[in-house]
Structure 1
Amino acid sequence: MFITLEGIEGSGKSTQIAAIARWLKEAGYDCLTTREPGGTSIGGQIRSVLLNPANDDMASGTELLLYVADRVQHLETVVRPALAAGKVVVCDRYFDATMVYQGYARGLDKKMILRLHELACGGLTPDLTLLLDLAPEEGLARAWRRIASDDAHAAESRFEKEKLAFHRRVREGYLDLVRKQPQRFAIIDANADVAAVSRQIEAALNVVLSFKC
């Protein structure tokens, strides 16, 4: 089973993916957690280019193709082997992030992005996508508090430095995808406290796992 987490900066994905892994393991599932970009050693090098705030002149097409390159490596060496071994794979960001960030927010052709995904990645679709949704103003405030206290996050702050209008387009893009594919998405209210967010996620996981079993 393939589960993905999506959301704007500061939505709490990193916190929740660790809780999801604990919950799945306690329920008896063999679980692998990973992320995009950077879920492989090669992907880590790509991530350092993509998220470096010094690269503020990166062309949108370059950005898109770097994400696709990271995803090809990730799927071939991590995700597909784990799924073939019967593991539950939980991934922090996947193709939906590319569609909303490079398609909805950057304005690149969405059909072209989808075609690239189909050609390069075989169109692998998650069984469940958890969208941690909250207002961009709150997400960015959280993200900048984290950046201020953590040099590692400061080194990966290129998207946080985008204007608020960009992040609003990202959120609207996610919500549009939910409208188009409601059967795959579960919207999680990320304004709630950490424990309440975890309970919402566990409820969504219970539904999909009972359906798949």
Structure 2
Amino acid sequence: MTGRFITLEGGDGAGKTTQAELLAAWLEEHGRTVVRTREPGGTELGLRIREMVLHERGHIAPRAEALLYAADRAHHVETVVRPALARGAVVLQDRYIDSSVAYQGVARGLGADRIRSVSDWAADGLVPDLTVLLDLDVAVGRGRVAAARGDVFDRLESEASTFHETVRRAFLDAADAEPERFLVVDAEQPAAAVQRAVRSAVGALVGITGEGGPA
């Protein structure tokens, strides 16, 4: 039995963790095996890389940053994602290649095509069955993060608003380029409304019908 690979993308504060938690519970209620994971940080090695790229003090060269994400992805896909898919699980993942393209390829100016090529090689060509893009105004997202954690931001969250606006535009451009893979949801809606939209798309993908009610 082949599993399904679903990624969640979006800017800071868009609600990826909340939506993944709600979706995982719903899928498990309907008998699906779910593996929740994230990039970076879905493995022990990934946790160490996450600490470096998000919390390391001092400057990290953009190419080094991109390659650290790629290294995490290569190990994560081989040791976590592909084995779970082979077991027939639904993998729900917070961030994947689209984040690297948006953050490092576009916002860091390294080149979207170049970063996608490196990322595809690292992932050995693994493409999500569905990518949920939680689209949110940058100011609203930063306000949510500040409300949840105070003014404590990681390296990427600390970038200027213009950087995050560029990231948002890059995500939307990716969705425009691959509408068959992306579901774009207005993340400024209440969480229950967002979840209904997500469940409708995921239910169609995994064979759960008529169950996309309120969260």
- TM tier, smaller: over 0.9
Partner residue, 1:100: 102
Tell me, which stretches of 5 or more residues in structure 1 are unaligned?
Answer: none
Amino acid corresponding to residue 187 of structure 2 in structure 1 = A
8 Å Cα contact 2:105/2:114 also seen in 1: no
| Aligned-partner Cα distance in 2 for 1:65–1:112 | 12
Q: Deviations over 1:24-81 (max 9, x none)?
A: 11111111100000000010000001111623x1111011000001101101110010
Deviations 1:66-125 (A, max 9, x none): 000110110111001000111110100011000000011111122221221232221210
CA distance in 2 between partners of 1:175 and 1:118 (Å) = 20
Moved more, 116-125 or 44-53: 116-125
Q: Which residue of 1 aligns with 2:40?
A: 37
Alignment counterpart, residue 176 of structure 1, candidates 164, 173, 176: 173
SS in 2 for 1:6: strand
Conserved 8 A contact 2:130-2:181: yes
Q: 2:213 corresponds to which residue?
A: none
TM-score by length of 1: 0.92
CA contact (8 A) 1:147 1:157 kept: no
Higher helix share: 1
From 98, 111, 114, the counterpart of 1:112:
114
- Confirm or deny that 1:85 pairs with 2:82: no
Partner-residue secondary structure (3-state), 2:134: strand
TM-align CA RMSD: 1.5
CA distance in 2, matches of 1:191, 1:53: 31
Could you tell me which residue of structure 2 aligns to residue 157 of structure 1?
A: 154
AA aligned to 1:190 is A
Partner Cα distance (2:47, 2:163) in 1: 25
Residue 10 of structure 2 aligns with which residue? 7
2:185 corresponds to 1:188? yes
Query: Percent of pairs identical after alignment?
Result: 45
Q: Which letter maps to 2:150?
A: A
> Helix, strand or coil for the counterpart of 2:55?
coil
Which residue type is aligned with residue 34 of structure 1? T
Secondary structure of 2:91's match? strand
Amino acid aligned to 1:106: R
CA distance, structure 2, for counterparts of residue 139 and residue 78 of structure 1: 29
Matched, 1:199 2:165: no
Indicate conservation of the 8 Å contact 1:144/1:160, yes or no: no
Contact 2:27 2:33 in 1 (8 A): yes
Aligned residues: 205
2:133 to 127, 131, 139: 131
Contact (CA 8 Å) 1:12, 1:190: kept in 2 or not? Answer: yes
- TM-score (structure 2 length as normaliser): 0.91
Segments of 4+ moved more than 6 angstroms: none
